[in-house]
Amino acid sequence: MTMHMRTFRQRYFCVASLSCAAVLCYLFYNRQLYETPGTASAHNVEDDVSEPSNSPEPDVQLFATFPSFRQEENLTATEGILCIDEGEARWQFRLPKALIIGVRKGGTRVLLDILARHPSVKACAREVHFFDRQENHKLGLDWYSSQMPLSLEADIVIERAPAYFISDDAPRLIYKMSPSVKLLVVVRDPTVRAISDYAELFDKYHGEMKPFEEYVTADSKHNVVKTYSEIVNTGVYTSHLNNWMKYFPLEQFHFVSGELLFRDPVQEIKEVENFLALKPFIDEKLFYFNKTKGFPCLAPAFKKNGQNAVSGCLSDTKGRPHPAVNEDVVTLLRDYYRPFNEHFYRVVRRNFAWP
CA angle 263, 234, 190 (to 5 degrees): 40
Contacting residues for 202 by C-beta, under 8 A, at least 6 apart:
209, 323
pTM of the shown model: 0.72
Interval 272-302: pLDDT, tens: 999 999 999 999 999 988 888 778 888 887 6
* pLDDT on residue 40: 39
* pLDDT on residue 283: 95
* pLDDT on residue 37: 40
Interval 186-235: pLDDT, tens: 999 999 999 999 999 988 888 888 999 999 999 999 999 999 999 999 99
Sign of CA dihedral 236, 239, 242, 243: negative
* pLDDT on residue 160: 98
* pLDDT on residue 35: 42
Q: Are 296 and 288 in contact (CB under 8 A)?
A: yes
The second-level CATH assignment, the architecture, of 94-348 is 3-Layer(aba) Sandwich (3.40)
* Bridge pairing between strands 303-304 and 307-308: antiparallel
**Strand stretches in 180-268, DSSP E:** 182-187, 253-257
Q: What residue ranges of the chain are covered by domains with CATH 3.40.50.300?
A: 94-348
Give 169's DSSP letter.
S
* pLDDT on residue 17: 54
* pLDDT on residue 196: 95
The Cα 132–Cα 127 span in angstroms is 11
Q: Are 112 and 123 in contact (CB under 8 A)?
A: yes
SS3 call for 307: strand
Low-confidence ranges of the chain (pLDDT < 50): 1-3, 5-6, 8, 13, 15, 23, 25-86, 304, 309, 316-317
Q: How far apart are the first and last CA of the chain?
A: 51
* pLDDT on residue 313: 65
The Cα 100–Cα 239 span in angstroms is 18
